[in-house]
Chain A
Amino acid sequence: MTQPFRIPGRGRVDQSRPVQFTFDGRTVTGCLGDTVASALLANGIHLMGRSFKYHRPRGVVSAGSEEPNALVGTSRGPGRFEPNTRATMQEIWDELRVESQNRWPGLAFDIGAINDRFGRFLPAGFYYKTFMWPRSFWDKVYEPFIRAAAGLGRSPTEPDPDLYASRNLHCEVLVVGAGPAGLAAALAAGRSGASVVLVDEQSAMGGTLLSEPDVRIDGQGAWDWLAATLAELRSLPSVRLMTRTTAIGYYHQNMVGLCQRVTDHLASPPEGAPRERLWRVRAGQVVLAQGAIEKPLVFDGNDRPGVMLAGAAQTFLHRFGVKVGDRAVVVTSHDSAWHTAFDLARAGVRVPAIVDVRAQVPPDLAARARSLGIEVLASHTVTGTTGRLRVASVMVNPVRGDRVGPWRGIDCDALLMCGGWTPSLHLFSHTKGSLAWDAQAGAFLPDRKTEDCEIAGAGRGLWGIAAALEDGAKAGTAAAKALGRVAGVGTFAVEDDRTGSGVVVKELPTDRDASLAKAFIDFQNDVTAKDIRLAVREGMRSIEHVKRYTTNGMATDQGKLSNINGLMIAADALGKEAPQVGLTTFRPPYAPTTFGALAGYHRGSHFEVTRKTPIDAWAESRGAVFEPVALWRRARYFPQGAEDMRAAVARECRAVRTAVGLFDASTLGKIEVMGPDAATFLERMYTNPWAKLQPGRCRYGLLLGEDGFIRDDGVIGRLTADKFHVTTTTGGAARVLNMMEDYLQTEWPDLDVWLTSTTEAWAVAAVQGPNARKLLEPLVEGLDLSDAAFPHMAVAECTVAGFPARLFRVSFTGELGFEINVPARHGLALWEKLWQAGQSHGITAYGTETMHVLRAEKGFILVGQDTDGTVTPGDAGLDWAIGKQKKDFVGKRSLQRPDIVAKGRKQLVGLLTEDPREVLEEGAQIVADPHQPVPMTMIGHVTSSYWSEALGRSIAMALVEGGRDREGQTLHIPMPGRTLRAKVTGTAFVDPEGQRLKV
């Protein structure tokens, strides 16, 4: 027998099916159905990790998802490593690899534990106090220290290879927690015919019934009743049961998020199965039956391996058939731990004593203890423990009034504590349901509800199986009735129930120097009672401040065990009652949840889509280098041979200025504005005048926000009196349409206008360069392309290369240019015909980088690059685009706001570096005087900067305070190690008169 603490014939694990896994490289044998924690305990291993701050040796404290200590790393095969897995939740399987955390070089001997010896130097607020001064220490001393000490476990290093699924589900009643209350609720609702979903985070349903097999319900043993109940629920077609499923958050209108662990417990998951599945459940009614979490007691040395919650010991005994030790002492303030002691004693564990802090203990319990040979120590306290890697003895003292008497030691290898129970109301708190302090229960209980939910069982402070069953049935019936169903109330006959009560305590009384005590409240974050009291002494009054100052409750268990104890001690230190101090807020998720589950299918290309133009395949086949632009994939440049970007862009620029270039402009946003009032509408939206624009002509349009700042721009063509083809920036298409719809629907619903997004309906090929007309003329039917008949800023519907087209004569390069719009399905064919026809004219495909250079040479702005949401038309030098006669347009009034007419605004100017080879960095800051002390007064920044092949030098644009008045001045651009000089110029660097368009 390799599992000396396994009790043959006990528990719900399959003792005939051994399972071997490794823990820190050593093979450990457990049974099918074990968790990592239960299997390690079966082998007598309590030491499972080290704590975060002091690296103190730690053992398992609980048997559930609230576990703060037994966090381990789990490896499920290549690339499948997870830190901070709770050993109490992870089921074992052959070849699972488990490693302990926060120790080096090993779990039993750990260098970092030196922090423990110097623990008095790491009090509450340590980080705030220590890492403040001097500034120069930050980079070299503090940050490396924090980085070395920070983090729980180690992060996985490889991309997560697992799949994560997500689903929506609607049901009438969602029951969270499948203990007696949840089961009874699901039965009541299910029997009424309601569609019911019953979820539990454990691998098996039953909750406390799994740990209390001796209770009898309706004449059956608890486990027989459980099996029959589950069978009935399964037989109801409208009931869905889900295990290994944690309700992580309770959101508005009865939406509950569930995280289902699908494959982590399987040695060989089915091919393609998701690791986890996130369910978004919308329920008519929710029944919260999450039970209660046992409170640890706070005393010196309460974190030694072997010290654990009494209820956990009971679960390990009954559910897993594991004794947590050979000699277990119980210390409690509640009746429930007495039953644990009895169960352990009857299972063959020696229980030398039950230490109860209460002066009066129920006589029947005391009598039963004595009959089992257990010494009863009422009105006693625990003042310390001994043992290095495992508890070896406990120091027990009598208490008389306020006096703590002399201690005596009791040898033990397990110390089981119980400070009462905290109703599990995390999900209820997510709904902003309020809690009220119940002095009798010594707990916060649900008060005002905000959602259609019922709370049942221990969550309402009820103890015992009978009470839970009855309350659950009532909740299930109420939920069914609220949905208009007819439901009866089930009744249950319960024998041998374990009811009881207890008292609420803060730290246990001690006769020893409290300043030397290490009485832990938050095990995971190493927060002690002393830290809480120190925080209060140092001025923290709000529980929220105490929490942040001490980090109590801020670890991955979110204070499931520590919040109430922290509150009790803070309240005592403040001299207030618990409800006056209040609880911190519980927020989702209830338990740590993987990013994978939350991301679900939304990863990679399902997270960020890639939009491709009809010409994308051609660009790819030509070796284009792509860049993402507003979810589009755009060809940035087309390198030939060994060309780098600079060489390719220089070649492409030369081709456009000397021959002809072909550019895929399909991503331009396009909106068709139609209707009798289309011109009026555009007149109101854009700064420019539209009413007199003739059909067949187009115009640059500038769109402002109502605040007067530039939002978008683009060429707008008038095809007929009531039809406009509006283009927007690539990134602005959806925004502009939304803005137009907003004004049309809500400000001017009287206008007869229809807006249609046509961005993806049209493919656009831009033909730019002196040879553009020569290339195009033979391909165009039904249109005279001569300058006289089709001048710059003309638009016409015609046929190009046999395809119906909207042809614009426009130029974003300063060269003779045309933009050909054809239905998207013809885009590639048009492109190939243009390419073919252009061979004799020196045609060159160019990408977005060349487009940027060419437009910058002309001083054309890119909205979002040369503007940033605070730039007015005046700032950008676009006053010419404002219809001076117009009485109103969106943003017009704002152009007279005091700050916008004020002097000294940042204006767009050109910059020419003193060294023509120096290309400035976009975003670089600009100063007037480079000799001023640091921090310097920055007067602007570089917005666009390129090598201009046409000029054989660099060019840049910049937003500079009072920029246009500085023309001719030299400004300074401080860079690491040097300062560059540049002269302020106009923004049109090439052909400022626009002669090249007049051909």
Chain B
Amino acid sequence: MLLIHCPYCDETLPEPEFAYAGEAHIARPADPMALTDEEWRDFLFIRSNPRGTHYERWRHVHGCGRFFNAIRDTVSDKFAMTYRAGEPRPNLDALKEAAE
């Protein structure tokens, strides 16, 4: 059972309070009708599925109810950080350097 930090509640809480919600930073196109079939297919179905650093969405569903973003390693399952929805995609390497 993971411990997850909700960036809205600013609390680290057990996983059962949260629900996974797919890859992050995939914005719905402003005008879907302007997209080609291939572009729309990519938006709908194509995900990065990386081995390692993954930008993903979670919802504090049994808490504040907010969706937020997280960086998690898909091999170790470890969270690098969580941040609020709408914030830009953090540069993990820069963050690591800053920490060192």
A residues sitting closer than 8 Å to B (CB atoms) are 251-253, 255, 280, 282, 432, 450, 706-707, 738, 741-743, 745-747, 749, 887-888, 892-894, 896-898
Q: A745: which of B41, B66, B78 is its contact (CB, 8 Å)?
A: B66
Enumerate B2-41 residues with CB–CB distance to A below 8 Å.
2-3, 19, 21, 27-28, 31-33, 35, 37, 40-41
Given the contacts A432-B76, A706-B28, A738-B59, A746 and B44 also touching, CB distance less than 8 Å? no
Indicate if the CB atoms of B37 and A897 lie closer than 8 Å.
Answer: yes
Given the contacts A749-B86, A888-B32, A898 and B37 also touching, CB distance less than 8 Å? yes
Q: B44: which of A282, A706, A742 is its contact (CB, 8 Å)?
A: A706
Query: A residues within 8 A CB of B41?
Result: 897
Indicate if the CB atoms of B1 and A741 lie closer than 8 Å.
Answer: no
Could you tell me the distance in whole angstroms from the C-beta of A151 to the nearest C-beta in chain B?
Answer: 32
Beyond the given pairs A741-B67, A898-B37, 5 more chain A to chain B contacts, judged by CB atoms under 8 angstroms and listed by A's residue number, are A252-B2, A742-B59, A749-B86, A888-B33, A897-B40
A738 to B67, CA, bound (A): 10
Indicate if the CB atoms of B85 and A746 lie closer than 8 Å.
Answer: yes
Query: B residues within 8 A CB of A741?
Result: 59, 65, 67
- Scan B67-100; emit 1 where CB is below 8 A from any A CB, else 0: 1000000001110000001100000000000000
Indicate if the CB atoms of B33 and A893 lie closer than 8 Å.
Answer: yes
Given the contacts A707-B44, A888-B31, A897-B40, A253 and B2 also touching, CB distance less than 8 Å? yes
Q: Which residue of B lies closest to A748 (CB)?
A: B28
Indicate if the CB atoms of A747 and B28 lie closer than 8 Å.
Answer: yes
Could you tell me the distance in whole angstroms from the C-beta of A605 to the nearest C-beta in chain B?
Answer: 19
Indicate if the CB atoms of B35 and A893 lie closer than 8 Å.
Answer: yes
Given the contacts A251-B1, A706-B28, A894 and B40 also touching, CB distance less than 8 Å? yes
A896 to B61, CA, bound (A): 33
Could you tell me the distance in whole angstroms from the C-beta of A166 to the nearest C-beta in chain B?
Answer: 13
Given the contacts A741-B65, A894-B40, A746 and B35 also touching, CB distance less than 8 Å? no
A892 to B29, CA, bound (A): 12
Indicate if the CB atoms of A892 and B33 lie closer than 8 Å.
Answer: yes
Query: B residues within 8 A CB of A450?
Result: 76
Q: Does B57 contact A (CB under 8 A)?
A: yes
Could you tell me the distance in whole angstroms from the C-beta of B82 to the nearest C-beta in chain A?
Answer: 14
A742 to B67, CA, bound (A): 7
Query: A residues within 8 A CB of B27?
Result: 747
Query: A residues within 8 A CB of B85?
Result: 745-746, 749
Could you tell me the distance in whole angstroms from the C-beta of B29 to the nearest C-beta in chain A?
Answer: 8
Query: A residues within 8 A CB of B76?
Result: 432, 450
Q: List 7 A-B contacts (CB under 8 A).
A: A252-B77, A706-B44, A738-B59, A742-B67, A745-B66, A892-B33, A896-B37
Could you tell me the distance in whole angstroms from the C-beta of A482 to the nearest C-beta in chain B?
Answer: 18
Q: A893: which of B3, B19, B32, B66 is its contact (CB, 8 Å)?
A: B32
Q: Which residue of A lies closest to B85 (CB)?
A: A746
A894 to B31, CA, bound (A): 13
Indicate if the CB atoms of A893 and B40 lie closer than 8 Å.
Answer: yes
A765 to B72, CA, bound (A): 48
Query: A residues within 8 A CB of B61?
Result: 738
Q: Which residue of A lies closest to B26 (CB)?
A: A746
A749 to B27, CA, bound (A): 12
Indicate if the CB atoms of B1 and A746 lie closer than 8 Å.
Answer: no
Could you tell me the distance in whole angstroms from the C-beta of A586 to the nearest C-beta in chain B?
Answer: 17
Indicate if the CB atoms of B3 and A253 lie closer than 8 Å.
Answer: yes
Query: B residues within 8 A CB of A745?
Result: 66-67, 85
Query: A residues within 8 A CB of B32?
Result: 888, 892-893
A22 to B33, CA, bound (A): 78
Given the contacts A252-B2, A893-B32, A894-B40, A746 and B77 also touching, CB distance less than 8 Å? no
Could you tell me the distance in whole angstroms from the C-beta of B25 to the nearest C-beta in chain A?
Answer: 10
A251 to B78, CA, bound (A): 12
Q: Which residue of B lies closest to A744 (CB)?
A: B67
Query: A residues within 8 A CB of B37?
Result: 896-898
A231 to B86, CA, bound (A): 57
Query: B residues within 8 A CB of A251?
Result: 1
Could you tell me the distance in whole angstroms from the C-beta of A664 to the nearest C-beta in chain B?
Answer: 28
Query: B residues within 8 A CB of A898?
Result: 37
A432 to B75, CA, bound (A): 10
Query: A residues within 8 A CB of B65?
Result: 741
Could you tell me the distance in whole angstroms from the C-beta of B40 to the nearest C-beta in chain A?
Answer: 5
Could you tell me the distance in whole angstroms from the C-beta of B54 to the nearest C-beta in chain A?
Answer: 15
Query: A residues within 8 A CB of B21?
Result: 742
Could you tell me the distance in whole angstroms from the C-beta of A634 to the nearest C-beta in chain B?
Answer: 25
Indicate if the CB atoms of A252 and B66 lie closer than 8 Å.
Answer: no
Q: Which residue of B lies closest to A707 (CB)?
A: B44
A223 to B59, CA, bound (A): 54
Query: B residues within 8 A CB of A887?
Result: 31, 33
Given the contacts A746-B85, A887-B33, A893-B32, A255 and B1 also touching, CB distance less than 8 Å? yes
Indicate if the CB atoms of A746 and B67 lie closer than 8 Å.
Answer: yes
Query: B residues within 8 A CB of A252?
Result: 1-3, 77-78
A854 to B40, CA, bound (A): 40
Could you tell me the distance in whole angstroms from the C-beta of B55 to the nearest C-beta in chain A?
Answer: 13
Q: Which residue of A lies closest to B2 (CB)?
A: A252
A741 to B85, CA, bound (A): 13
A745 to B28, CA, bound (A): 13
Could you tell me the distance in whole angstroms from the C-beta of A740 to the nearest C-beta in chain B?
Answer: 11
A251 to B27, CA, bound (A): 34
Query: B residues within 8 A CB of A892?
Result: 32-33
A252 to B28, CA, bound (A): 33
Given the contacts A707-B44, A887-B33, A280 and B1 also touching, CB distance less than 8 Å? yes
Query: B residues within 8 A CB of A706?
Result: 28, 44
Most chain B CB within 10 A, of A280, A742, A887, is at A742
A894 to B67, CA, bound (A): 25
A414 to B76, CA, bound (A): 47
Could you tell me the distance in whole angstroms from the C-beta of B24 to the nearest C-beta in chain A?
Answer: 9
Could you tell me the distance in whole angstroms from the C-beta of A703 to the nearest C-beta in chain B?
Answer: 16
